[in-house]
Chains A and B, each alone.
Chain A
Amino acid sequence: MTTSSSTASRYRLFLERFPVRKFVLILLAIVIAYGAAAGSIATLQLGRFSSEVWINLFISGVARGSVYAIIALGYTLVYGILFIINFAHGEVFMAGAFTAYFVAVGLDSAGMLASSPIISIALLFLVSSVVSMTVAILLERIAYRPLRGAPRLVPLITAIGASLFLQYTFRGFYGANARAYPTIPAIQGTWNILGYDFQKVHVISILGAVALWLVLYWIVERTRVGRAMRAVGEDREIAALMGVDVDRTIVFTFAVGGALAGAAGILYVFLFNQVHFFMGFFPGIKAFTAAVLGGIGSITGAALGGLILGILETVGPNLFLDGAGVPSPNQLIPIVAFGILVLVLIFLPGGFLGAPEDKRA
């Protein structure tokens, strides 16, 4: 009897000193790192892509990543203040871009897209942002506000429902077909910067995203309502006692996140040219991944996470898998995003710039 219990405790001691889980994880990390390194070396040795191609992949990754970053800001803002994952944020993004499509068509048939591109683009951003903002505010009012203080999984289930509901609402409104945005001649073609040809849309998307990020940073860090947002995120009750209107601040957070998502929708359309009622879902999840990667709750983290994810998505499959002999590696792009999400949550739950997960409420 005593011997068996002492072996059991010895076994337990052994487990504590050498936790199996940790070893498995380290092993997993080594395998993945080795696979990525071996694949990259093999690809580079094959030399199928010139350096020009790599730079283009990189830039398109940065462009894509900056769109993810702007959507990710919406997740991060809401998470930072309410600690819920606004799963329907991707649909907020879709709503703006899809609605602005009709404005774009109208402008196109009036010849405005060609004759005065700046005004028309500004108008597109405005419409898209306003629509997305409205959807975000309604979402908060109808789906999330009644559930504040409910068990954590409850608002997540509502969010999934809201995501589905919004997708099919817009399908009902605007039809089930994918629609191609009319082209804006002014932003077609390339610019030659430092001897390389860069697509104009890539450059514009990156610059637009940087501008939006700076505006948000200014709002959160420098304005009164930004301070209220941070205070509510820190401690809702104390903030209320200090005279912050909590409801109003939360609505404002959703509104800002929505407006950013709407603007990101137009940047996304510049890159991908198409709108569809389901277009928001995967960018939404990828942006969430970006937010987690950078550290959810952190504004700088969202930007960082978005860029890393975007670059890994465009460069990654070609670099890691092509040399390993995987046919059509770009089919596996979704695995990049989800794989990163899983790995980050396993190895670095707080992301790069966030608080460690356990510390959070």
Chain B
Amino acid sequence: MTGAQKRSIRQGLISGAIVIYLGLVGMLVAFDARAIVTGILNFATVLIAITYGGFAYLSGNRGKHGAPAQPALIAGTITGAVAGATVGVFTLVVNFLTETLGWNVRNMFTSINNALLEFFTFGQSPVVGALLMVMFGLVAGLVSGSLHLMSTTNRKVVVMGLTASVFGALGAPLFKVMLDGLNIPNRWLFERDGLTLIGAITLFVVFAAARMGSLRVGGPRQALLKVPGTTEKNLRWVITALALFGIAILPWIVNDFVSDVLGFVGLYILLGLGLNIVVGFAGLLDLGYVAFYAVGAYSVALLTARSSILVGGAVTSPAVAAYTNFWVAIPITIVIAVLIGVAIGAPVLRLRGDYLAIVTLGFGEIIRTLVLSDWLKSTFGGPQGLTEVTSAPFFGLNTRDPQILYYLIYAFAGFALFISYRLKTSRVGRAWAAMREDEDIAEGMGVSVIKYKLLAFATGAAVGSLGGAFFAAKLSVANPGSFTLLVSINVLAVVVLGGIGSIPGVVVGSLVLVGLPELLREFGEFRLHIYGAILIAIMILKPEGLIPDKRRALELHQSDHQPEKSVLSAAATEGVQ
């Protein structure tokens, strides 16, 4: 057997194992309920086809020395068939264990149920099902292997069309609501939660054609610049204006639920921008960012709430209560957050990066434990928290209404966006960049490292506390359950996915990681699972994120010049991963 064949087989085994894994954690059964083309194709089937096909495509890649190791079609077919066979063997083994030996595998693996087995065997008997699975893998491998035979342009066009159809279908519930809101007939396009067959074909053709057109003129930007009278500058203005207009009308074309989700996205944009200042600009990994979110929420609650607390069987009001207005509370909250940020930051800023991360995590947990304790219950209300936080009064409008609150949140998010941009290119931003690239050299050049680190902490704290303030005003409660470590990690995931240090990245990260899972119920359950996978995958494959910040991207790729990494990238192209 040649090395290339071994590689194809290995890729097949890996992709088969991934599919089994997806089944074992329950994703496949959950995603089987989500239609891509209603009545014909479900997302779970697409997912395993993508897994098989993706690895089959990789195994058809050229070998280490640039020469085609073996015909791409054969490589793809081998990989796909091996992958299918792996899954087939798995179903046979499960069947043997349950039917012949009488073990109840389900007692251990809760996700191995009839639905999963039915999915893996296409509803046939185990042996027939296993054979069908091999066929399925073989076809998926053959098809994706054949992508190698196309020209690069054609391949890009086909992949674009397929991607558009899948994402169009996944976003169907949202798009449908939007089209309904705009009174555009869409019954021909969407059916229940998926696309119609005609819809899928239409999306494929439209996006493939658009991609083809834009490739021909060298990208969408170039295409727009070809229109007479457009220059770089006014194009940017038009795009900004369109984006603002889109954001402004969005709540009115979607329903309350989607507005609510968008409000959450806005909160995460705020939090993400705050953390981006700390992690992205100053290069300090803060894993206790939720502390500032909590500080914001609890400060606003203490300053405005009319809550009652049960202490020792008697109902009292909190030990500290001011009963002020939301807008009076906001500046006070920011001051408190800045003070706490400095107080947390000052003693630990001399620590090296990874220690700093764990210590901030510790501070976050300390704050949560204190708020939760009986000891401080008379102030913070213990596990139940503080209730009846007043909403933000705004010209007599009901700001609990998600469509109104949306504007408030996005106004503040826009403000934070503006501040971020201004800070980044300012003297402060340059000092941060210098510090993050090499602390010692920055100090030698006269940058007061401690001062700028504290400034980063304080700014991040202020922005994060704003997020917390709106969170409390939105839900009218502040309770410890909302301020777990997971929030810190979610915000970190938002920043990392978009690109560490990248401001538009935060917006995109929030939309993808916060918006999508809320809208796609089936994903919601696996949200944290997927976050974890994203954090790993991004750091390994594209550490600069989806929308890279140029300077940061350079820093993150510095290590590429080191020998170890080059060994690794050789391994990666060889497909060992």
Contacts and interface: CB of A to CB of B under 8 A. Distances in A.
Contact residue range for chain B? 35 or more
B357 A149 contact: no
B232 interface: no
Contacts of A341: 358-359, 362
Contacts of B111: 172-173
A288 interface: yes
Interface string A16-29: 00000100110010
A38 interface: no
Interface in A125-165: 142-143, 145-158, 160-165
Contacts of A328: 373-375
Interface stretch (A52-60, A66-74, A213-221, A331-339): A331-339
B96 interface: no
Contact of A345 (B355, B496, B536, B577): B355
Contact of B531 (A24, A148, A161, A174): A161
Contact of A168 (B283, B532, B572): B532
Given A148-B568, A172-B25, A157 B362 contact: no
Interface in B362-390: 362-363, 365-366, 369-370, 372-375
A115 B533 CA distance: 44
A102 interface: yes
B536 A143 contact: yes
A342 interface: yes
Given A146-B577, A160-B489, A164-B535, A174 B110 contact: yes
Interface in B522-571: 526, 528-529, 531-536, 539-540, 543, 555-556, 558-559, 562, 564-565, 568
B283 A153 contact: yes
B568 A173 contact: no
A328 B373 CA distance: 8
A107 interface: no
B542 to A, nearest CB: 12
Given A151-B559, A331-B373, A338-B366, A345 B564 contact: no
B-side binding surface: helix, strand, loop or mixed?
helix
A318 B146 CA distance: 70
A307 interface: no
Given A154-B539, A327-B374, A288 B526 contact: no
A163 B536 CA distance: 10
B536 A161 contact: yes
Interface residues of A, number: 58
Contacts of B352: 152, 357
B151 interface: no
B332 interface: no
Contacts of A173: 24-25, 108-111
Contacts, number: 174
B197 to A, nearest CB: 33
B528 to A, nearest CB: 5
A145 B543 CA distance: 15
A162 B532 contact: yes
B370 A142 contact: no
Contacts of B241: none
Contact of A154 (B366, B543, B572): B543
A43 to B, nearest CB: 15
A147 B540 contact: yes
Given A151-B558, A160-B492, A285-B361, A349 B351 contact: yes
B365 A161 contact: no
A244 to B, nearest CB: 15
A169 interface: yes
B354 interface: yes
Given A326-B375, A328-B375, A346-B347, A157 B529 contact: no
Interface in B261-305: 283, 285, 287
B27 interface: yes
A165 B375 contact: no
B529 A153 contact: no
A356 interface: no
B564, B565, B572, most chain A CB atoms within 10 A: B564
Contacts of A35: none
A341 B287 CA distance: 15
Contacts of A157: 285, 492, 496, 535, 539
B528 A160 contact: no
Contacts of A121: none
Nearest to B556: A151
A349 B348 CA distance: 10
Interface in B388-435: none
A42 interface: no
B536 A342 contact: no
Nearest to A358: B352
A102 B105 CA distance: 11
A313 to B, nearest CB: 13
A346 B348 CA distance: 6
B536 A165 contact: yes
B528 A164 contact: yes
A150 B559 contact: yes
B565 A148 contact: yes
A328 to B, nearest CB: 5
Contacts of B555: 151
B279 to A, nearest CB: 8
A84 interface: yes
A298 to B, nearest CB: 16
A111 interface: no
A338 B536 CA distance: 26
Given A172-B24, A338-B363, A161 B533 contact: yes
A285 B540 contact: no
B152 interface: no
B26 to A, nearest CB: 5
Contacts of B107: 102, 105
A28 B347 CA distance: 10
20 contacts: A152-B353, A155-B539, A164-B531, A165-B532, A167-B532, A172-B529, A173-B25, A173-B108, A173-B111, A174-B110, A175-B110, A285-B362, A288-B358, A328-B373, A338-B362, A341-B358, A342-B359, A345-B351, A345-B355, A346-B348
Given A24-B346, A161-B531, A168-B529, 11 more contacts: A146-B577, A153-B354, A164-B535, A165-B529, A169-B25, A174-B108, A174-B109, A328-B374, A331-B372, A339-B366, A341-B362
3 pairs of A and B residues whose beta carbons are closest in the complex: A161-B535, A172-B25, A165-B532
